[in-house]
Amino acid sequence: MTLLEFHDVGLNIGERALLENINLSIRQGEFLSILGPNGAGKSSLMSLMSLTWKPTKGLLKIFGEDAQKFSVKQINQRRRRIGLVPQQVHFNWAVPLTVYEVVEMAQIGMDKAERFPKSEEKRLIESSLEQMGIQSLSRRPYRSLSGGERQKVQLARALAQQPEILILDEPTAGLDMDWQERLVQLITNLYRRYSLTVILATHITGHIPPCCSRIILLGSGRIIADGKPSEVLNVKYLSKLYNCPLEIYERNGRTHCIATGDFDE
């Protein structure tokens, strides 16, 4: 079953094209990684997928329906089926919400008729916190957490939405190596445990877990390559994508990439 379809999709802000001629379809159960340098358009593509923005060109189908024709109510209903973990959460420091309250936000957007009974809502939230290993933080103020802990809370919030698609926009950005590894492991475990469709945006090849079934290379708002990891993670494509000479090596099923610094004069 196809969940997301892009047909010649483009996104412009004023005269500037952020995305051009995007043709892509994402099937249920896929683990898709979108790899590209900074400014490649990864976050813009994620914004279209999560219905934050609408395309300015082409046809975007979400759950088989034309996203351009969605009303505000329909957009909100579809958003609840998509768990989004943004690159950075801009939150109000002055509002002292606890970790539990932040995760609870996942249940609030539901229509009254769709809502679970209170006990079920509580169970879902607690289960999401448990999946992320952060039950002990549930009463802590969100603002007192470290960057890695906050990302775990955001994953728990997205999970508590019981999404069909999980969109992760550079979830490891700004974290130290230990936290980066822990999050990659967590994402892998989540994908394996639930029948989720995962879309992960990153600019670091080493953050793509071995369970990833497909990779899209995105450069300057266009798809450069689309295929299995073994087909696209090679020196030819990656050096073109990052516009620098590089070497790659494999470890534990993951492909790591190092810029060699041997630039042509």
Partner 1 sequence: MSEWFGIFGIIIAAAVVGGGSIGCLGAYIVGMRIPFIGIAISHAAMLGSVAGYLLHLPIFPCALGVSLLSAWILGGFFSPAMKVHSDTHTSILFSVMMGLVFLGMGLMKNDVSPLLGMMWGNLLFVNIKNLFIMILLAVIFAIVCLIFHKELKSILFSPDLARASGINVGRIIKLFLVIAAAIIAANLNIVGGLLLYSLLTCPAAAAYEIGGNLRSVIILSAIFGVASAAGGFAISYQFNLPTGSCIALLSAFIYAAAHLNARTHPGV
What contacts 155, CB < 8 A, 6 or more positions away?
A: 85, 132, 171, 183, 186, 187, 190
Least distance (Å) from partner 1 to the CB of residue 11? 13
Q: Toward partner 1, which CB reaches closer, 35 or 156?
A: 156
Least distance (Å) from partner 1 to the CB of residue 193? 22
The CA distances from residue 135 to 45, 54, 78, 131, 139, in Å, are 33, 37, 28, 9, 9
**DSSP codes joined into one string, 229-249:** HHHH-SHHHHHHHHTS-EEEE
Q: Toward partner 1, which CB reaches closer, 76 or 220?
A: 76
Here the tokens at position 207 are 């953050």
Q: Toward partner 1, which CB reaches closer, 82 or 225?
A: 82
Exposed/middle/buried for residue 6 (C-beta within 10 Å: 0-12, 13-18, 19+): buried
Tell me which residues touch partner 1 (CB under 8 A): 50, 52-53, 72-73, 76-77, 79-80, 84, 86, 89-92, 94-98, 101-102, 104-106, 108-110, 141-144, 157, 161
Least distance (Å) from partner 1 to the CB of residue 185? 24
Least distance (Å) from partner 1 to the CB of residue 128? 13
Q: Toward partner 1, which CB reaches closer, 1 or 72?
A: 72
